[in-house]
């Protein structure tokens, strides 16, 4: 069997470029044997203040970079009016619950859709529970996990992994020894996957052969 390649995507649910990366990632991984792990990176963790859409910065960066790229990629995306922007630690703890139930990628897509297309507040536990139920998770059990902070330690562990990899911006994608920062082109990501797959197969083959020095 072809070796499965793990793709780690470091992102934040309030990062528009992370949502814009979904299409290229889907295109690049089509018909390939991959395991996609969405990893957390809180751009502005509590208690640091988050950004406000009514200030100058967000409208400027959206006009200069987000909207042009969205038009190029054919993605419907709008600067949310939620002010200030929500902290995302609870949403990420919810991701851990979703991943445990086999819906990590589906959950991530729903978070991006809810924030950037529906203007929903991802810092509100009730909103998160409703969104979780919409993708087939048990909304009550999900809300209980948030209220009890069941996945807090696992989320913190994932954040430490981002520190280990010295993640400074999102999206950042790790595929084997390849690091892609920003919205990737499908060709570049696909090539990284194929290269990693070849490296894994070569490493596996080397473990099943003997040489003149023995096994």
State the residue for tokens 């995302």: 88
CA distance 94 to 187: 32
CA distance 151 to 126: 17
Q: How many CA atoms lie within 13 A of 6 on its CB side?
A: 7
Task: Please give the model's pTM, rounded to 2 decimal places.
Answer: 0.93
Q: What is the pLDDT of residue 126?
A: 98
- Of the candidates 140, 120, 121, 117, the one whose C-alpha atom is nearest the C-alpha of residue 129 is 140
> What sign does the CA torsion over 17, 23, 28, 34 have?
positive
Q: What is the pLDDT of residue 152?
A: 98
Q: What is the pLDDT of residue 193?
A: 98
* CATH class in words for 5-206: alpha beta
Q: What is the pLDDT of residue 210?
A: 63
Tens digits of pLDDT across the chain (215 residues): 458 999 999 999 999 999 999 999 999 999 999 999 999 999 999 999 999 999 999 999 999 999 999 999 999 999 999 999 999 999 999 999 999 999 999 999 999 999 999 999 999 999 999 999 999 999 999 999 999 999 999 999 999 999 999 999 999 999 999 999 999 999 999 999 999 999 999 888 877 666 666 65
Structure token pair of residue 101: 């139930």
Whole-number CA gyration radius for the chain: 19
Q: What is the pLDDT of residue 215?
A: 53
Q: What is the pLDDT of residue 212?
A: 60
CA distance 213 to 215: 7
Strand order from edge to edge, sheet including 34-40: 34-40, 5-11, 172-175, 178-181
């Amino acid at each position: 069997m072809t070796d499965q390649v793990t793709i780690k995507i470091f992102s934040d649910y309030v990062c528009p470029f992370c949502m814009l990366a979904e299409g290229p990632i889907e295109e690049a991984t089509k018909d390939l044997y991959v395991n996609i792990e969405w990893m957390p990176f809180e751009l502005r963790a509590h208690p640091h203040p988050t950004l406000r859409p009514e200030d100058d910065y967000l409208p400027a960066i959206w006009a200069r970079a987000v909207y042009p790229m969205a038009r190029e990629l054919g993605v419907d995306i709008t600067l949310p009016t939620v002010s200030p922007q929500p902290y995302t630690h609870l949403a990420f703890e919810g991701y851990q619950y979703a991943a445990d139930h086999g819906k990590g990628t589906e959950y991530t897509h729903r978070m991006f859709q809810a924030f950037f297309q529906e203007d929903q507040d991802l810092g509100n536990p009730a909103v998160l529970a409703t969104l979780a139920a919409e993708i087939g998770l048990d909304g009550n059990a999900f809300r209980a996990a948030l209220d009890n902070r069941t996945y807090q330690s696992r989320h913190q562990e994932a954040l430490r992994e981002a520190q280990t990899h010295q993640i400074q911006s999102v999206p950042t994608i790790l595929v084997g020894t390849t690091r892609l920062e920003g919205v990737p082109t499908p060709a570049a990501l696909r090539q990284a996957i194929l290269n990693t797959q070849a490296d894994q197969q070569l490493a596996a083959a080397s473990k099943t052969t003997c040489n003149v020095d023995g096994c």
